[in-house]
């Protein structure tokens, strides 16, 4: 083996190296490179350094989406389920992402399940930037992994039929996760509308059709009797029971005994000078309940150039059957100015004969 190497060396020296020393330099350089490369290869083979995890990216978690157990929990909550129609319903949308995956394009669409109501509008009453509203739909752009969020807004309804006092509705939800569109429906708790009373107490000398109801001088004159008709009216949206409507007659005002009673019972306590009209039950209807009665007013000299009250301390209350609560209020005093009498309005100042 050594002879072969020596023979190979002698041959190359005679053939190349004597003629040009650059051949020797080139072969020497290539030999050194080969030795260096072999040294590096053997060094790496026997030496296995630990590489810091800082330079190694973490493997992407392979989250398996179970469509039977969707990652997003959506719930809708309200402070109460009894509202006045004009007030609207404040709702809180609660979103809980139970996964580490981001969720996009979350939509909740509200559907009325009967034809008696419509959603008039949805209001972003707290000006939440992430909350977008498109007709009956609310939209949230995204929800991060394991993120929870609460958003509040107001839903306003419009009634087509005042006889129906319960709103039945649902929410249709949709969102995107891992390029999958997930949909579900939530049957929302019924919303009950508090019953409403429209109440009035008015005085007339002439009716709205022009018929004369009262008698005596207009404007009223001192010591001369003037008769007026007083009407209590109640119209209900919803059902009530035990309506009590009351008022008092000032000194100088008396009942004549003439009256028109369409419903309930009418009483007068002469000691307290209190008029009381009671109706056991008010049904939801388009027609109003009414009582009318005639009073006689005889002014005195201290009332000259004044518009005296002829019915005072007017109050009402009734029990709302649906929500088991009382609806009550007070009305302004009725005076001789006849604010609702189209013909005699403003002719209430007492004069001398």
pLDDT digits (tens, 9 = 90+) for 138-195: 999 999 999 999 999 999 999 888 778 889 999 999 999 988 999 999 999 999 888 8
R_g of the chain, CA atoms, integer Å: 46
Q: DSSP letters of 14-38? A: IIIITT-HHHHHHHHHHHHHHHHHH
Q: Are residues 205 and 239 in the same domain?
A: yes
CA end-to-end span of the chain: 158
Q: What pLDDT is attached to residue 335?
A: 97
CATH for 102: 2.60.40.740
Q: Are residues 181 and 211 in the same domain?
A: no
Residue 63 contacts by C-beta under 8 Å, 6 or more apart in sequence?
Answer: 99, 100, 101, 178
- Is 65 among the domain residues? no
CATH for 276: 2.60.40.1170
- Is 126 among the domain residues? yes
pLDDT digits (tens, 9 = 90+) for 243-258: 999 999 999 999 998 9
- Is 165 among the domain residues? yes
Q: What pLDDT is attached to residue 55?
A: 46
Alpha carbon 338 to chain centroid, angstroms: 41
Q: Are residues 224 and 300 in the same domain?
A: yes
Q: Are residues 317 and 250 in the same domain?
A: yes
- Is 216 among the domain residues? yes
- Is 62 among the domain residues? no
- What is the domain range of residue 40? 2-46
- Is 37 among the domain residues? yes
Q: Are residues 227 and 301 in the same domain?
A: yes
Q: What pLDDT is attached to residue 126?
A: 75
Q: What pLDDT is attached to residue 86?
A: 85
Q: Are residues 37 and 79 in the same domain?
A: no
List the chain residues with pLDDT less than 70. Answer: 1-24, 26-28, 47-67, 285-286
Q: What pLDDT is attached to residue 344?
A: 95
Q: Are residues 115 and 212 in the same domain?
A: no
Q: Are residues 140 and 92 in the same domain?
A: yes
- Is 341 among the domain residues? no
Q: What pLDDT is attached to residue 28?
A: 67
- Is 345 among the domain residues? no
Q: Are residues 322 and 266 in the same domain?
A: yes
- The tally of domains found in the chain comes to 3
Q: What pLDDT is attached to residue 308?
A: 97
Q: Are residues 207 and 159 in the same domain?
A: no
Q: Are residues 10 and 123 in the same domain?
A: no
What distance in Å separates the CA atoms of residue 62 and residue 55, rounded to the nearest whole number? Answer: 21
Phi, psi at residue 274, to the nearest 5°?
-105, 130
Q: Are residues 109 and 172 in the same domain?
A: yes
- Looking up tokens 């609310």 gives 138
């Amino acid at each position: 083996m050594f002879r072969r190497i020596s023979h190979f060396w002698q041959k190359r020296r005679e053939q190349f190296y004597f003629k040009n020393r650059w051949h020797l330099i080139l072969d020497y350089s290539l030999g050194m490179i080969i030795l260096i490369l072999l040294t590096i290869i053997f060094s790496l083979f026997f030496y296995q350094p630990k590489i810091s995890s800082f330079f190694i990216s973490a493997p992407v978690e392979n989250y398996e989406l179970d469509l039977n157990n969707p990652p997003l929990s959506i719930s809708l909550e309200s402070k109460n389920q009894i509202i006045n129609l004009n007030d609207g319903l404040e709702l809180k949308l609660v979103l809980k992402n139970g996964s580490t995956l981001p969720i996009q394009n979350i939509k909740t669409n509200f559907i009325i399940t009967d034809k008696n109501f419509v959603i008039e509008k949805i209001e972003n009453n707290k000006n939440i930037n992430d909350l977008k509203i498109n007709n009956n739909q609310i939209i949230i752009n995204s929800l991060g992994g394991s993120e929870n969020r609460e958003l509040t807004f107001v839903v306003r309804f419009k009634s087509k039929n005042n006889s129906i006092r319960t709103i039945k509705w649902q929410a249709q939800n949709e969102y995107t996760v891992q390029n999958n569109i997930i949909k579900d429906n939530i049957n929302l708790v019924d919303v009950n509308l508090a019953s409403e009373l429209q109440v009035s107490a008015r005085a007339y000398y002439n009716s709205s059709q022009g018929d004369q109801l009262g008698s005596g001088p207009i404007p009223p004159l001192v010591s001369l009797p003037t008769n007026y008709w007083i009407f209590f009216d109640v119209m209900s949206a919803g059902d009530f029971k035990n309506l009590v409507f009351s008022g008092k007659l000032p000194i100088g005002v008396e009942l004549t005994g003439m009256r028109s009673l369409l419903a309930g019972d009418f009483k007068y306590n002469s000691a307290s000078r209190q008029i009381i009209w009671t109706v056991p039950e008010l049904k939801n209807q388009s027609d109003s309940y009414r009582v009318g009665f005639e009073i006689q007013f005889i002014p005195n000299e201290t009332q000259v150039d004044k518009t005296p009250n002829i019915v005072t301390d007017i109050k009402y209350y009734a029990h709302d059957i649906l929500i088991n609560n009382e609806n009550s209020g007070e009305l302004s005093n009725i005076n001789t100015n006849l604010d609702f009498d189209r013909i005699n309005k403003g002719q209430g100042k007492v004069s001398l004969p």
